[in-house]
Amino acid sequence: MPRALITGITGQDGLYLAELLLSKGYEVFGFMRGQNNPKRELVEATVPGVKILTGDLTDLSSILRALETAQPDEFYNLGAISFVAYSWENAHMTSEVTGLGVLNALEAVRLYSHDDAQKVRFYQASSSEMFGKVQTVPQKEDTLLWPRSPYGVAKVYGHYMTINYRESYGMHASSGILFNHESPRRGPEFVTRKISMAVARISLGLQEHITLGNIDARRDWGFAGDYVDAMWRMMQQDTPDDYVISTNETHEIREFLDLAFRQVGIDDWAPYVKQDPRFMRPAEVDLLIGDSTKARSVLGWEPKVGFPQLVQMMVENDLAEQKLNLA
């Protein structure tokens, strides 16, 4: 039975990845923060097969202990402070967790593996946010990185540190440069879920409007369930490498609003949407569109859920959740 250790188990991707690996017959260990993490119940209810280990990415010895207990064949490093807007307010902490946390994870794997560099396969959750002020459209593996947020800068550090451990120690370390991916499990602070929850509540008369920042931004949005499959595929390759994972389509936030409001019978959303500089960012990533040709040809991966289905899935889920709350 293959064994996997996942950091960031309480997050959107951690839950989908754990489900996928359990379905493939893996023994799955989840690395979780805190002695009383409020999301522990969520993990236990959603993926009851996962064995929980506690620790923190800023604490190398806790990662080492988790490795000794889990003895994994595959280590998925998904843990991070992942909210870009928050990273300006907490740049130092973001650097420690999202940046230096990757070094801790790599170093823990190296120490645990002793001289056997191939003992544990390592996955790093890199991000399209690293492209920032985009220099080429679409963006692929060799596009120049120009991060535009403390989060993006920290991810660049983690990305290059992963490559460096691969090149220096011969580790089987791969980076997935994943474009935005969403789902009904997306945190409510991210724009897609903020919209799908608000649309559900507005249609039920529970909320009057939604307040957003820059609605002209464009993103290449996929479905998280499809993207964790790409992570697993990277880990099955004989040779470690870096891959862009994206739908290769870009959409404005306005289009997300169009589809989401239309689903509840509202054609003109303007009266329900306000804008507030509070949600604007000091620097913006305006146009993200990926080119995942390499992943499609080498990994045989492709996204299954398209943009309209993604919006539909999220609004349907939030309508059902809100109705349940009312019952």
Site residues, ligand NDP (CB under 6 A): 7-14, 33, 37, 39, 56-58, 78-82, 97, 125, 127, 178, 180-181, 187
Query: What is the closest distance, in whole angstroms, from the C-beta atom of residue 46 to ligand NDP in the complex?
Result: 12
User: And the tokens for 233?
Assistant: 């595929």
Catalytic residue among 82, 126, 127, 128: 127
Over the window 99 to 128, marking each residue x when it contacts ligand GDR by CB under 6 A and - when it does not, the resulting string is ----------------------------xx
**Looking only at residues 211 through 270 of this chain, which bind ligand GDR when binding is defined by CB under 6 A?**
212-215, 217, 219, 253
CB 121 within 8 A of CB 235: yes
**Looking only at residues 130 through 189 of this chain, which bind ligand GDR when binding is defined by CB under 6 A?**
179-180, 189
Is 129 assigned a catalytic role? yes
CB 322 within 8 A of CB 203: no
H-helix or E-strand spanning residue 87: helix 84-89
Helix intervals (H) in 5-48: 12-23, 40-46
By CB under 6 A, name the one of 22, 272, 279, 294 that touches ligand GDR: 279
Is 297 assigned a catalytic role? no
CB 215 within 8 A of CB 277: no
3-state secondary structure of 203: helix
Our measurement of the distance from residue 167's CA atom to the centroid of its chain's CA atoms, rounded to an integer in Å, reads 25
In this complex, which beta carbon is closest to ligand GDR, that of residue 70 or of residue 153?
A: 153
173/183 Cα distance (integer angstroms): 27
Residue recorded with tokens 């807007």: 85
Catalytic residue among 123, 129, 196, 292: 129
152/160 Cα distance (integer angstroms): 12
**N- to C-terminal Cα separation, the chain:** 43
By CB under 6 A, name the one of 194, 254, 294, 296 that touches ligand GDR: 194
Is 151 assigned a catalytic role? yes
| Site for ligand GDR contains 191 (CB under 6 A) | yes
3-state secondary structure of 312: helix
Query: What is the closest distance, in whole angstroms, from the C-beta atom of residue 203 to ligand GDR in the complex?
Result: 19
**Window contacting ligand GDR (CB under 6 A); options: 42-50, 58-66, 190-198, 230-238:** 190-198
User: And the tokens for 211?
Assistant: 């307040």
**Window contacting ligand GDR (CB under 6 A); options: 138-146, 235-243, 278-286, 299-307:** 278-286
Query: What is the closest distance, in whole angstroms, from the C-beta atom of residue 39 to ligand NDP in the complex?
Result: 5
261: Cβ–Cβ under 8 A, 6 or more apart, which residues?
Answer: 199, 267, 269, 272
> Residue 37: which of ligand NDP, ligand GDR, none does it interact with, CB under 5 to 8 A by kind?
ligand NDP
Query: Cα Rg for the chain, rounded, in angstroms?
Result: 20
In this complex, which beta carbon is closest to ligand NDP, that of residue 27 or of residue 226?
A: 226
What residues act catalytically? Answer: 127, 129, 151
> Binding site for NADP(+): what residues are annotated?
209
